A = this chain, B = another copy of it.
Amino acid sequence: MNFTQTLKENQFKVTPSRLEALEVLSLSKTPMTIEQIWQKLVKSQPNLVTVYRIIKDFKQKDLVRQVDLQHQHAHFELSAKDDHHHLVCTQCGRLEDVPGCQLNDLVMQSVRRSSNFTSTSGHNFEIFGLCKDCVRK
């Protein structure tokens, strides 16, 4: 995928931080916090505030989606990644991707029945429980 093009298509100026942010997100197998993204931005080394702003703008343009794992901070992942959901350990935070998404019919059905909404931009589906390590304790 061409990050420069992605940025241009979304009316963003092509800056080193934004390019590297896209790269970092695309390489990550799990949703990342702002702090985690920031630490991976070794080439551009932007200010933490800049990372907040970049990700916020990406979210607004639906380039990334926000994932809430009920930790103490938001997580983000590229929207371009395959639709999937997550298993989250409520004790240690351990995370597992659940590949594939069988929710699209349900989403459409929900919208069809709604009187306030006629379209959607995305959805989140997280499953909480104890991972095998935490069950032992």
Contacts and interface: CB of A to CB of B under 8 A. Distances in A.
Identical copies of this chain, number: 2
B116 A87 contact: yes
A42 interface: no
A136 to B, nearest CB: 11
Given A123-B126, A127-B110, A117 B66 contact: no
A56 to B, nearest CB: 12
A124 B121 contact: no
B128 A125 contact: no
A121 B87 contact: no
A117 B87 contact: yes
Given A119-B130, A123-B127, A87 B110 contact: yes
